[in-house]
Structure 1
Amino acid sequence: MKFDYRDHNAGSNVFETRNPARPAEIVGAYTEMANAAGVDAILNRAANAQAEWAELPPVVRGDRLTAFLDDVIANVERIAEAITLEQGKPLGEARNETLKGCAEGKFMAGEAARQQMQTSAAARPRVRNLILRRPRGTLLAICPWNFPAMTPLRKLCPAIAFGNALVIKPSQFTPAAAFILTEIAARHFPAGLVQVMPCGGAFASELTATGRFDGVSFTGSVAVGRKVAQAAAASLIPAQLELGGKNGVIINDSQDLESCLDQVFGAAFQTGGQRCTSLSRVIVHRDLQESVVQGLAARARALTLGDGLDPATTLGPLCNGAHFDSVKTATTRAVDEGATLVTGGDSATVAGCESGYFYRPTVLDNAGVSRTASQEEIFGPVLSVLPYDDFGEALSLLNETEYGLTSSLFSDSHALIQRFLDESQNGMLHVNNGTVPDVNMPFGGMKHSGLGAYSVGASASAFYTVEQSAYLAW
């Protein structure tokens, strides 16, 4: 066992994590928080630390946050190994996840100092109007299993930069990275400012509804996001939700189709398709359909499945058994509904990891006939191809899902690019590139893909601070 974070004084509520490449291998043991006394202790520590932390000038908080992030970078290999052992993704992806979270965090460290106060024109003589921002207090961060380091960092950095305390509820499949981040945080921030609360989702929602937190930030599925939003509404605290996606790319024309397909393929299959921003639908002009399908299938067949710690691996296992079963079931259903299976579509056996949760990278053609393939978030290495004849039809296909997270267009037509920017119903838009967001740009979605202020970027302050209007007369 690699990670032992059991509290031996907290009773017998212990859960274990397992290596998805070798599910018989126990990776970590953790004590589940399930009682009011433990929560009281966490919140008391957080309140005391937050009061101390909020007194520091924003620039000083930013400097301390930057030092913390430098420490995280110095420990990136340790964190990456923890991610791979519990989540399964290749070590290089785990490393890049952590570094990207740190890059976003360094931007937020500076953003806090830039957004503490602004002036506004007064309507009366001898009055000066100011718009102030103050910390919210103690926030709850509910994090998913697919990005065990980047998602906690994406919530931790703005929370700390703007003067709050943060309690992280990690996924019970992948908590090790959050514990390591918290250990590093203890070297740079007041004791109790950043804490981990491993617990079940139902307990976290119940706790949210009590109003003991000053806000909740959640990343995960739409179904669970609704429960979190309802719990937050019950106590009238703000909720920031980053939810799912059924993201589409329109390939209308491209002077370099091979480069286009490289970008589309990477955006689709990184983290085994277990990303909210993964491209899962390729909406392609019928003239290019055959070339696109064969190009994507060839790239899929070239991936090497294996243990994420093996340098030869380019596609790791799915994170856990229940999710593995759901991807298999959804793909089978899509084919039964009429989608054409081009490659993949079944589990794989890897030497030395015979019981691992490996699923072959899958390409489905003519997927518009299948609601599962064209509408549902499968959240795995499954890519659906939908042909079109007219660009208006392409935009209709792009927008017809309940989601609105991210989308992409490949075209050299200025007119079509403008239509895409005007009509794509997604929070993040990419033209002639995949769906990788920059570290300083707002991250979030429309429709059922998000609620509340976007994370990262200047708009993050709308969730992590309280806005106040001040009138100074003399």
Structure 2
Amino acid sequence: MTHRYEFGAGADAYKTVNPANPSEKIGRYGIMSPDELGAVIERAHAAQAEWARVPGLERSARLNAFTDAVEARADALATAGTLEQGKLFRESKGETMKSCAEGRFSVGEAARMGAMAIASGRAGISNQILRRPRGVIFCISPWNFPISTPMRKICPALAFGNAVVMKPSQFTPGANFLLAEIAKEFFPANLIQVAMVSGRVASEAVSKGDIHGVSFTGSVPTGKLVYAAAAQNLIPVQLELGGKNGAILNDSNDLEGAITQILGAAFMTSGQRCTAISRVIVQKDLAAQAKEILTAKAAAMKMGPGLDETSDLGPLCNLPHWRDVCEVTDKAIAEGARALTGGAAPGGPEDGYFYSPTILDNVQHHSIAGQQEIFGPVLSVLEYETFDQAIEMLNGTEFGLTSSLFSNRNELVQRFLRESQNGMIHVNHGTVPDNNMPFGGVKNSGVGAYSVGPTAVNFYTSEHAAYIA
């Protein structure tokens, strides 16, 4: 069987399969050598020099046209995303549309960028703060959001005058290549390039290559390696890492509605989201009712291929990750957690990388299920008596990405806003971010300027103090 997507030459290649049917070949992508990556970066320098001379408003206009073209090809991009990642087609389509909305906001931010006048301490001299594009940005994307994560890097980078070299995951490169194909109509040649390289070659580029910044989205262990490599090159980093996100369920006038939001945030993309809610920290008096609703709703979810419109939950993305989710959840249950529903794969990996939607009860705060990012459709339930305990459990992990509180008590809402140790904080809804709000985390969930909103400029530009006599 031939591959649906083929990019790159060479005998060595990454090959992708359909996670819902691993016997189905999807893509073949030639692997670049270190010398070939060096040539890509060299071409990016020339393209960036040309692009930086384009007036800001014209760059904005071209980026708007690009996002329009991406939106027009949303079905093709979503199909590629679903075939390689496994998520539901409607989720892939929504991912594409959201990425365009975020991109348009980045365009608006760039159009407003200019010199900032600052008061001078000397007569006859005016002071300004100038911003310039950094140059060539190396963008490393994960496999869980193969459309929106590259777009979240491409749009602000180009808006502020940079070039990008994208390193996609070996499991989901197809959408990256399709985005680069779309971009050719609107930008100088080689302004956006895709580099299929190994982790070792990418690390060498970050530590020694002629690049000016690295934007990485992925796991904490790999993020630390990227951070260390970038330090060798003294280049800035933007790291968007993992989370063990908690939702405190204290009180609600509509308990079923609140739980519906929590489950949506927990099981979208089969739980393979850095912002997925993976812990429900529930007030003891609500716990029995909450667990009953959670269990019934999770058990009713239908697993199936992402292209099947009747599916509620797609497969996990790849075989190594499927094995990890099985292993970690087995350990959590052996440690004392109790599966109210799910707790195992419905079959072997040859039947697709599916894992049953799982609700874990009897979870202790310092246990595996209370601390480790499982990154699958596994939701842990923890109980508390006092709000002090809830806050302690919420903040008591290495992560600090996103959190939620469901409560109608203003004093608890205000305390949550003050004390939640997370980059993104939600009250009475799930963890879906807006298109114009900063996206990032604290603690082990992120380093550097947040992406998306008005903070992205701090990573994609350098700052210069100018004194004019």
Shorter-chain-normalised TM-score: which range? over 0.9
CA contact (8 A) 1:300 1:361 kept: yes
Displacement, 1:369?
Answer: 5.7
* Larger displacement relative to structure 2 (45-54 or 379-388): 45-54
Whether 1:27 and 2:36 are equivalent positions in the alignment is: no
Find the counterpart in structure 1 of residue 386 from structure 2. 390
Displacement, 1:35?
Answer: 2.6
Residues 178-232 of structure 1, C-alpha deviation per residue, up to 9 Å, x if partnerless? Answer: 0000000011000000000011222211111004111000000000000000000
Matches within 5 A, 1:20-419: 20-36=19-35, 38-349=36-347, 355-368=351-364, 371-419=367-415
Residues 417-455 of structure 1, C-alpha deviation per residue, up to 9 Å, x if partnerless? Answer: 111011100000000111000000000000000000000
Residue identity matched to 2:463? E
Tell me, in whole angstroms, the C-alpha distance in 2 between the residues paired with 1:31 and 1:354: 26
Tell me, in whole angstroms, the C-alpha distance in 1 between the residues paired with 2:95 and 2:262: 19
CA contact (8 A) 2:399 2:445 kept: yes
Find the counterpart in structure 2 of residue 7 from structure 1. 8
CA contact (8 A) 1:217 1:241 kept: yes
Structure 1 residue ranges, 4+ long, deviating more than 6 angstroms after superposition: none
Tell me, in whole angstroms, the C-alpha distance in 2 between the residues paired with 1:385 and 1:73: 39
- Structure 1, unaligned stretches of length 5 or more? none
Tell me, in whole angstroms, the C-alpha distance in 2 between the residues paired with 1:455 and 1:6: 29
Residue identity matched to 1:411? S
Displacement, 1:3?
Answer: 3.4
Displacement, 1:320?
Answer: 0.5
Find the counterpart in structure 1 of residue 460 from structure 2. 464
Residues 18-53 of structure 1, C-alpha deviation per residue, up to 9 Å, x if partnerless? Answer: 1101111110101011231x1232122211111111
CA contact (8 A) 1:58 1:112 kept: yes
Displacement, 1:382?
Answer: 0.1
Tell me, in whole angstroms, the C-alpha distance in 2 between the residues paired with 1:196 and 1:30: 11
Residue identity matched to 1:459? T
- Structure 2, unaligned stretches of length 5 or more? none
Percent identical pairs in the alignment equals 55
Match of 1:423 among 419, 425, 428: 419
CA contact (8 A) 1:19 1:27 kept: yes
Displacement, 1:93?
Answer: 0.2
Distance 1:49 1:336, change over 3 A: same
CA contact (8 A) 2:218 2:241 kept: yes
Residues 242-300 of structure 1, C-alpha deviation per residue, up to 9 Å, x if partnerless? Answer: 00000000011111111111111100000000000000000000000011111111111
TM-score (norm 2): 0.98
Tell me, in whole angstroms, the C-alpha distance in 1 between the residues paired with 2:350 and 2:442: 41
CA contact (8 A) 1:88 1:316 kept: yes
Q: Secondary structure at the match of 2:48?
A: helix
Tell me, in whole angstroms, the C-alpha distance in 2 between the residues paired with 1:7 and 1:386: 48
Cα RMSD, aligned residues only = 1.2
Q: Secondary structure at the match of 1:459?
A: coil
Displacement, 1:349?
Answer: 4.2
TM-score (norm 1): 0.97
Displacement, 1:116?
Answer: 2.7
Tell me, in whole angstroms, the C-alpha distance in 1 between the residues paired with 2:318 and 2:24: 13
Residue identity matched to 2:437? M
Displacement, 1:354?
Answer: 5.9
Residue identity matched to 2:409? S
CA contact (8 A) 1:339 1:369 kept: no
Distance 1:57 1:440, change over 3 A: same
Tell me, in whole angstroms, the C-alpha distance in 2 between the residues paired with 1:267 and 1:282: 11
Displacement, 1:6?
Answer: 4.0
Displacement, 1:370?
Answer: 5.8
* Larger displacement relative to structure 2 (75-84 or 11-20): 11-20
Tell me, in whole angstroms, the C-alpha distance in 2 between the residues paired with 1:370 and 1:452: 28
Whether 1:432 and 2:431 are equivalent positions in the alignment is: no
CA contact (8 A) 1:211 1:232 kept: no
Residue identity matched to 1:19? N
Residues 137-171 of structure 1, C-alpha deviation per residue, up to 9 Å, x if partnerless? Answer: 00100000000000000000000000000000000
Tell me, in whole angstroms, the C-alpha distance in 2 between the residues paired with 1:7 and 1:248: 42
Residue identity matched to 2:330? T
Residue identity matched to 1:55? R
Whether 1:445 and 2:444 are equivalent positions in the alignment is: no
Q: Secondary structure at the match of 2:411?
A: helix
Q: Secondary structure at the match of 1:468?
A: strand
Tell me, in whole angstroms, the C-alpha distance in 2 between the residues paired with 1:396 and 1:370: 11
Tell me, in whole angstroms, the C-alpha distance in 1 between the residues paired with 2:365 and 2:334: 10
Q: Secondary structure at the match of 1:377?
A: coil
Displacement, 1:112?
Answer: 0.7
* Larger displacement relative to structure 2 (367-376 or 310-319): 367-376
Q: Secondary structure at the match of 2:79?
A: helix
